[in-house]
């Protein structure tokens, strides 16, 4: 007889739509986020299709503008920002800290409904004609000139922001107040540390974009001239307020992936992390310094040169904690007992791609070079190396690592390895040529380009086709595993941590008895004070 777990404890639509179980809410998020991911991918496909030839022949420039705007809005606000926190964080944080649920289960469910409502607004904006301002909504174009559905899309972002705020709030309170007896801060899994740092950025940054978007709406509807120079406002102020959130938002996307990589690297090297406290504190350092670098988006916007210099230096600083993480992961793998299972392949992919994305970020933090490559494909390639090569690799790695726990089933490992390879090859073929095209001067956001860039763009489109296969495959074999996969033991990887101590899939209350933790939750090697008994 099948034992009672969170998946079979209650059937029917209402048992899912009204659930307060953090694990079921995580799956609600997983389903909706996957939908938005493929919608955003569809827009990306249209962009790559248009750029296959130098002439603008597939769609008009207006349509093209809408395509890259909707691609950015959907991918940033409806996929990347909620992806790891709302799916893996929601599922794992209570289990990793030995709790029965998040501190506020009802608010957790509410945050999903808010996310869906915001998503509906954005879908309505897309279906009723789209938005063409770019995902940045720069004023005065977005308030005075654009004839597209700016208000609807902006409201969608405003609403979804509250979902993000509530998730961050829930995580912070949960980590502070719900840890099992004996689970001190420095015994926490590093995934929890990175989710805590992410939550700090969510609660401090998101309200600022909310008020900014609200002011854009006030300007468009009520003609209050906060940002429009024609009405006495200052468009640079909009850029400052926008990037005060949207640059830290990059860390909302990458910090959770870093947490996932910390877990995977330990599990598949069979070693404790090298320099636990450095990895933990570097998450907090990224969260804090990340709030002080937004001005590097304004190097050519009329910001003073002195402000530019300071933001340039601060942007260099944020590379230090990121580099600490990369070095510590590498040191963890060094002389480890490494097994190349699919999650570890994604982790290796992350390490390489994040390093390239991070180092090209330093190019862009240097004011002199940034002025040369500003608004070119170099920038596009850079942030895709972070957001796709970093954040999505981390997300996929995490899904592969914890899928047996989430579903209670094993997926096909050969197919998973093949998909990881497709993603890695496809990704590099898509975005590496864009570094070259950008450096040679191809500007972003145009639907036509000079003939000399065609080879690079064809390579990019070819890579995107391979990448899309790599993204569809996991959905196929994960779905397959739900029905045909072999049942997973509680710890299929021989990994450590509270989540691997409970059955797969976990029971609704996670732990029948609250665990008592007597040392760090990851003990791949006995620590010195424990000794070998």
Partner 1 sequence: MSEGHWSEHYPGPTHQPPVHVDRVHAGGPDVAQHPKLQHHFDDMGQQAEASTLGMWVFLVTEIMFFGGLFMCYLVYRTASPEGFAEASHHLNVFWGAANTIVLIVSSLTMALAVRAAQTSAPPKTQVFWIAATMILGAAFLGVKAIEYWDKFTHHLVPGPNFVWEGKHPAAAEMFYSLYFCMTGLHALHMVIGLVIMTVVGIMAWRRQFDENYYTPVEVSGLYWHFVDIVWIFLFPLLYLIGGHVGA
Binding residues for partner 1, rule: CB under 8 A, are: 99-105, 107, 165, 169-170, 172-174, 176-178, 181, 203-208, 210-212, 215, 218, 222-226, 231-234, 237, 241, 490, 501-503, 509, 511-519, 523, 526, 529-530, 533
- What are the Cα distances from residue 201, in Å, to 181, 192, 387, 393? 27, 14, 17, 21
Tell the smallest beta-carbon distance from residue 207 to partner 1 (Å). 4
- 3-class DSSP state for residue 342? helix
Residue number, 270 or 501, with CB nearest to partner 1: 501
Residue number, 92 or 437, with CB nearest to partner 1: 92
34-71 as b/e, with b when 16 or more CB fall inside 10 Å? Answer: bebbebbbebbbbbbebbebeebebbeeeebbbbbbbb
Residue number, 159 or 517, with CB nearest to partner 1: 517
Residue 362, classified by CB atoms within 10 Å of its CB into exposed (0-12), middle (13-18) or buried (19+), is middle
Residue in 156, 174, 247 with CA at minimum distance from that of residue 204: 247
Residue in 405, 325, 394 with CA at minimum distance from that of residue 358: 325
Residue number, 86 or 388, with CB nearest to partner 1: 86
Q: Ramachandran region of residue 270, left (φ > 0), alpha (ψ -120 to 50) or beta?
A: left
Tell the smallest beta-carbon distance from residue 490 to partner 1 (Å). 5
Task: Please give the Cα distance from 378 to 436 (Å, whole number).
Answer: 7
Residue number, 177 or 484, with CB nearest to partner 1: 177
In DSSP terms, which residues pair with 409 in a beta bridge?
Answer: 487
Give the number of other Cβ atoms within 10 Å of residue 82's Cβ. Answer: 26
Residue number, 350 or 500, with CB nearest to partner 1: 500
Q: Would you say 117 and 159 are in contact if contact means Cβ atoms under 8 Å apart?
A: yes
Tell the smallest beta-carbon distance from residue 519 to partner 1 (Å). 5
- Eight-class DSSP state of 487: B
Residue number, 40 or 308, with CB nearest to partner 1: 308
Tell the smallest beta-carbon distance from residue 86 to partner 1 (Å). 17
- 3-class DSSP state for residue 332? helix
Could you tell me how many helices (H) and strands (E) the chain has, helices first? Answer: 18, 0
Tell the smallest beta-carbon distance from residue 523 to partner 1 (Å). 6
- Eight-class DSSP state of 230: G
Tell the smallest beta-carbon distance from residue 158 to partner 1 (Å). 11
Tell the smallest beta-carbon distance from residue 167 to partner 1 (Å). 12
Residue number, 251 or 377, with CB nearest to partner 1: 251
Tell the smallest beta-carbon distance from residue 5 to partner 1 (Å). 12
Q: Would you say 266 and 332 are in contact if contact means Cβ atoms under 8 Å apart?
A: yes
Q: Ramachandran region of residue 115, left (φ > 0), alpha (ψ -120 to 50) or beta?
A: alpha
Residue number, 234 or 459, with CB nearest to partner 1: 234
Residue number, 368 or 531, with CB nearest to partner 1: 531
Contacts of 48 (CB under 8 A, 6+ apart): 430, 460, 461, 464
Tell the smallest beta-carbon distance from residue 475 to partner 1 (Å). 30
Tell the smallest beta-carbon distance from residue 485 to partner 1 (Å). 19
Task: Please give the Cα distance from 165 to 509 (Å, whole number).
Answer: 25
Residue number, 44 or 498, with CB nearest to partner 1: 498
Task: Please give the Cα distance from 57 to 318 (Å, whole number).
Answer: 42
Tell the smallest beta-carbon distance from residue 502 to partner 1 (Å). 7
């Amino acid at each position: 007889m099948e034992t009672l777990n969170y998946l079979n404890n209650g059937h029917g639509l209402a048992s899912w739509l009204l659930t307060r179980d953090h694990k079921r809410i995580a799956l609600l998020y997983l389903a909706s986020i996957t939908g938005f991911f493929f919608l955003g991918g569809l827009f990306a496909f249209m962009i790559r299709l248009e750029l296959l030839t130098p002439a603008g022949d597939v769609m008009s420039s207006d349509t093209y503008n809408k395509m890259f705007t909707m691609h950015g809005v959907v991918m940033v606000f409806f996929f990347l920002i909620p992806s790891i926190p709302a799916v893996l964080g929601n599922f794992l944080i209570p289990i990793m800290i030995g709790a029965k649920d998040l501190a506020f289960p009802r608010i957790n469910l509410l945050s999903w409904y808010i996310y869906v409502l915001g998503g509906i607004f954005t879908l309505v904006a897309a279906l009723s004609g789209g938005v063409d301002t770019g995902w940045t909504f720069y004023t005065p174009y977005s308030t005075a000139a654009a004839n597209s559905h700016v208000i609807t899309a902006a409201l969608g972002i405003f609403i979804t922001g509250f979902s993000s705020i509530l998730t961050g709030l829930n995580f912070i309170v949960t980590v502070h107040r719900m840890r099992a007896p004996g689970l001190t801060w420095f015994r926490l899994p590093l995934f929890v540390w990175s989710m805590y740092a992410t939550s700090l950025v969510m609660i401090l940054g998101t309200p600022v974009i909310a008020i900014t978007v609200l002011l854009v709406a006030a300007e468009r509807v009520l003609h209050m001239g906060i940002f429009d120079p024609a009405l006495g406002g200052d468009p640079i102020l909009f850029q400052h307020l926008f990037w005060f959130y949207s640059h830290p938002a990059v860390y909302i996307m990458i910090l959770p992936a870093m947490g996932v990589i910390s877990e995977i690297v330990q599990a598949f090297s069979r070693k404790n992390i090298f320099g636990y406290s450095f990895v933990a504190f570097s998450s907090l350092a990224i969260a804090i310094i990340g709030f002080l670098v937004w001005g590097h988006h304004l190097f050519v916007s009329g910001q003073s040169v002195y402000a530019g210099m300071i933001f340039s230096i601060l942007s260099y600083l944020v590379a230090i904690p990121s580099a600490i993480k990369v070095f510590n992961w590498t040191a963890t793998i060094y002389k480890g007992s490494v097994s190349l299972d699919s999650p570890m392949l994604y982790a290796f992919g992350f390490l390489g791609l994040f390093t390239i994305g991070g180092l090209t970020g330093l190019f862009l933090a240097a004011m002199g070079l940034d002025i040369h490559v500003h608004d070119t494909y170099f920038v596009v390639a850079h942030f895709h190396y972070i957001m796709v090569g970093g954040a999505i690799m981390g997300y996929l790695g995490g899904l592969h690592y914890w899928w047996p726990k989430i579903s209670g089933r094993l997926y096909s490992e050969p197919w998973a390895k093949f998909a990881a390879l497709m993603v890695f090859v496809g990704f590099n073929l898509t975005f590496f040529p864009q570094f070259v095209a950008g450096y040679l001067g191809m500007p972003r956001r145009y639907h036509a380009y000079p003939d000399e860039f065609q080879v690079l763009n064809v390579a990019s489109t070819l890579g995107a086709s391979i990448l899309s296969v790599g993204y569809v495959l996991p959905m196929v074999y994960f779905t397959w595993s739900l029905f045909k996969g072999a049942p997973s033991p509680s710890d299929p990887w021989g990994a450590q941590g509270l989540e691997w101590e409970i059955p797969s899939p976990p029971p609704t209350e996670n732990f029948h008895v609250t665990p008592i933790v007597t040392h760090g939750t990851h003990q791949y090697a006995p620590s010195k004070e424990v000794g070998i008994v």
